[in-house]
Amino acid sequence: MDHRLLHDLSPNGVAAAAPFSQFGGPASPRPTNLLPTVDASERIERYKVALEHARFEDENFARIYEGFLLPQTVFLGFVLAATAARDTGQDHRLLAAASLLGLLLCIPWYAATLRNITKVAFRLQQASVAEPTDWDVVADTGKKLAGGETVTVGSERFRYGWLSRLIPPRLGLRLIVWLFALAYLVLILAHLNVSFRSLLTG
């Protein structure tokens, strides 16, 4: 299954950029002076290349994020299962060490998430600059929709639901990492507490 963590790409690759400002903040005006004057066919070709780069960064982000998420889920499940089955102070010290390892692995996961959010936003901005003026796919309507505004396409009106506006992808993806880190931190403190009490009681 091909998971789109950041945005949905249509088969022709054009509708890819709707959630634009979810990664780069509020929508900004379309730049008008960043590209030299080129003919229409060359501009369209540049636009296609920019969208392909955005697609690649999105898919690469999905692979990297899932490469952390799956092992972390399995590892946290193992630590929780072992926590319920172990009683001795030595066991708790080992599980505290395992939880510390899981917490440390959250650091590169979080760093990779921030880096890739920025890379996708960068590629979408490039596509926005390269988009032909009258197309209104990435630059104008797409940015407004991503920013939580209501947009009209033809006779249809579109707006993200309140929960989607409250927790955009750039926040939701980071929140998952924070929750894993918090779970590991709680486990570390709990196991060290039990281990310390075991030492005191002999």
* Overall average pLDDT of the 163-174 stretch: 86
Asked whether the whole model's pTM tops 0.85, one would answer: no
DSSP readout, 14-75? Answer: SGGGTTTHHHHSS--PPPSSSS----HHHHHHHHHHHHHHHHHHHHHHHHHHHHHHHHHHHH
- Burial category of 180 from C-beta neighbours within 10 Å (exposed 0-12, middle 13-18, buried 19 and up): buried
Residue whose tokens read 């993806």:
173
% of the chain residues with pLDDT over 90 = 35
* Distance from C-alpha of 73 to C-alpha of 78, rounded to nearest angstrom: 9
Q: What is residue 111's predicted lDDT score, i.e. its pLDDT? A: 97
Residue 202: what pLDDT? 53
182: amino acid identity, one letter: L
Mean pLDDT of the chain: 79
Which residue, chain included where needed, has tokens 């281990």?
Answer: 195
pLDDT at 160: 79
Largest CA distance in the chain: 82
Q: What's the pLDDT tens digit per position in 59-70?
A: 999 999 999 999
**Predicted pLDDT at 168:** 85
Question: Judging by beta carbons within 10 Å of its beta carbon (0-12, 13-18, 19+), is residue 172 exposed, middle or buried?
Answer: middle
pLDDT level of residue 30 (50, 70, 90 thresholds): low
